[in-house]
Each structure stands twice: as structure tokens, then as C-alpha cells.
Chains A and B, each alone.
Chain A
Amino acid sequence: KNEVEQSPQNLTAQEGEFITINCSYSVGISALHWLQQHPGGGIVSLFMLSSGKKKHGRLIATINIQEKHSSLHITASHPRDSAVYICAVGAAGNKLTFGGGTRVLVKP
């Protein structure tokens, strides 16, 4: 079993739909990161969480430390949100352990 599990692996939505990506982890963490990766490889940090909830524009990230679970929500999805979303947890040394990613396609 991987230390960081994401679901779903792939997700297709129509423009405007609400999207949720889930992440479960099995190790102790110092912080959980949500990352976005576009074709071509560049990774952008969206959120870093150690508790509670954060919001940035149409993106919302939540974390439940007791349940070792986090969710990333995209409200009013848009085709430009199409990307791979990766959950990663940071532990000792802050090295990151990554989930396998969720490939999101938003159709117009």
C-alpha cells in the first residue's frame, strides 16, 4: 500500500461543475501539499496545509489530521483547470512523498 493514495486517478467534468479530489495518507506529516502539474512538467504549489481549510480563488483545500485525509475542491471548473493534481506529504527533512496524481479534464 502506498503511503499517499489519491482518488480518483482520472476525472472528466463539464465546465462549471464542482470537482473534488481526495487524498489519504498513512504516515506522520509536518504538512500536506496540493500541487498542480501541466503538460510539459512544471509543478506549481497550490496549497500547503497542516490543519483546517484554505481557499484561493475557486480552489479550496481541507485537511483532517485525525483521519489523515485531505480534499481539494475546484468550484465552477473551467477548461484551464485541466491538469494533473498531486497530493504530497512532507515529513522529516520536509522531503515530500507524493500520491500518483489525479488527471483532470474539464470540457467546455
Chain B
Amino acid sequence: DTGVSQDPRHKITKRGQNVTFRCDPISEHNRLYWYRQTLGQGPEFLTYFQNEAQLEKSRLLSDRFSAERPKGSFSTLEIQRTEQGDSAMYLCASSLAARGRFEQYFGPGTRLTVT
């Protein structure tokens, strides 16, 4: 397995457009996390899935944001009506939920620029 992958790596969009990002986790990992990182800051938690169930959403995730993991494998994060404040790096990570196993593996991120 080649690790966590994200697509696209870079996205430039105009304000008001919708964008969708994809994350493919490590194949046997049942947990998938989305984080957002703005320039010069540490990442912030957005949401996470265990299999196909979305178990938690951050207050950062406004109603313009939606995430899915329909078959418990890959996940998509959609942002509707993008705003300049959405410009950030969107990071995906996956892990295997098991007793004593907490390590998360990160993808390369999708850098979003809203003009």
C-alpha cells in the first residue's frame, strides 16, 4: 500500500464556486479524519469517520461543508459557495481503530486557494 492519497493536490477556485476533494486512506484503516490548516498555524480538526459513519463534526464545519465516506473506503469533502476564508490546506489522515493503536497517517494535503 502506498499510504494515504489526496486529490487534487492544489485547487484554485473563484469565490462562490463549489469544490470537492477526495481522500483515499490506507486500505485496512477504518478511521478517516479531515483537518484544515491555515498558513502559519497548526491543523484543526474538522470531522472523522469510522467506516462509513461520520462520528463527529467540528463547529468549524459550517453548513457549507459536507463530508462523506459512502462505502467506508475513500472520503470526499465538499465546500459549497467557497469564501476567501476557506483558503487553506485540507489534510486527510487515516488510522486503524484498535486498543492501543492511535497512530494516524497523513496524506499530502490539498491546498485550496479561493480568489
Contact = CB atoms under 8 A, between A and B. Distances in A.
Q: Do A and B come together as binding partners?
A: yes
B44 A93 contact: no
Contacts of A50: 102
A96 B104 contact: yes
Contact of B56 (A43, A95, A100): A95
A94 B31 contact: yes
A50 B99 CA distance: 13
Contact of A42 (B41, B48, B55, B109): B109
A88 to B, nearest CB: 8
A104 to B, nearest CB: 14
Nearest to A47: B103
Given A41-B111, A42-B108, A45-B106, A94 B45 contact: no
Interface in B67-97: 89, 91, 93, 95, 97
Contact of A96 (B35, B56, B105, B111): B35
A45 to B, nearest CB: 6
Contacts of A43: 43, 91, 93, 106, 109
Q: Size range of the interface on A?
A: 20 to 34
A41 to B, nearest CB: 4
Main secondary structure of the interface of A (DSSP, over half): strand
Contacts of A100: 41-42
Interface in A60-108: 86, 88, 90, 93-101
Contacts of A40: 108
Nearest to A42: B108
Interface string B13-54: 000000000000000000101010100011111001010000
B38 to A, nearest CB: 11
15 contacts: A41-B37, A41-B91, A41-B109, A42-B108, A43-B43, A45-B106, A50-B102, A86-B43, A88-B42, A88-B43, A94-B104, A95-B33, A95-B56, A98-B42, A98-B44
